[in-house]
Amino acid sequence: MPHVTIIETGIVSPKNRERHGSYPQMFERMIGDRTKIVALSHVSNALGTINPVAELIAMAHRRGVPVLVDGAQAAPHLAVDVVDLDCDFYAFSSHKVYGPTGVGVLYGKAALLEAMPPYQGGGDMISSVTFEKTTYNVLPYKFEAGTPNIAGVIGLGAAIDYVERIGLARVAAHESDLLAYATDRLSAVPGLRIVGTARHKAAVISFVLEGIHPHDVGTVLDQEGIAVRTGHHCAQPVMDRFGVPATARASFAVYNTRDEVDALVAGLGKVREVLG
């Protein structure tokens, strides 16, 4: 069996740091002779941490290991250059960049994709078929079996055009302002603890409110017309690391405003009033 190691970046405890070194040092030591591929997140969905993926990719490549980067949380917030990162694969979801659900993007280096067999059979992924042999189509068609999600791809294209018209630099500046403002306002809420305070973050704030379960926080906020996500965010090891069963998470985007941050803070006052 290939060796598989799961690490959530940006959450190295002081004890482990003292014993094993920094996160990148720990990461490099965990790549062994049986490691077939490294998969990591560009941005943590649970914490908002922007991980040093270029550095980690270089480390894996020094050991001859290819790297898949999950860019679902990065694509709507950061300018991504797959050539500069030198990642072998990069994936993100359409709905994270304001497009339709059920479609996304997978980038892969041509040499690796050429060497890989198709994982599905269907129209357009073959050049010729006889009883003696099958010849697969050229890239990218080899991996595009059957009728694609045409409407979804058109919608994704429109969403990308929308983001590009705004400009990712403007998006980043706006979200950075919201993150700083929200961090300041939420830090002043009695009994609130922000979970995940990395120096480099996307516009995501996870938090817990003392004595109140995040699910209850989310329920009251929902009644106030305020949308947050609650739960373990498909990242239970991170929750274990911080000693919480779940968090409430506010995510900010290009369409959010400071007024909505103020509404969140007011809503948390309502949570205290109802449940505190």
234 is catalytic: yes
Peptide bond into 140 cis (omega under 30): yes
Q: How far apart are the first and last CA of the chain?
A: 51
Structure tokens at 60: 């894996």
Enter the tokens of residue 218.
């989310």
Q: Determine how many CB atoms are found less than 10 A away from the CB of residue 32.
A: 11
Are 247 and 230 contacting, i.e. CB atoms less than 8 angstroms apart?
yes
Report whether 182 contacts 241 (CB < 8 A): no
Phi-psi category of 59—alpha, beta or left, where left has phi over 0 and alpha has psi -120 to 50?
A: alpha
Residues 262, 185: contact at Cβ < 8 Å? yes
Contact 98, 163 (CB under 8 A): yes
| DSSP codes joined into one string, 174-209 | HHHHHHHHHHHHHHTSTTEEEE---SSB-SEEEEEE
DSSP structural state of residue 154? H
- CA atoms of 147 and 135, how far apart (whole Å): 19
* Cβ-proximal residues to 169 (8 Å cutoff; 6+ apart), any chain: 79
From the list 1, 111, 169, 234, the catalytic residue is 234
Catalytically annotated residues: 234
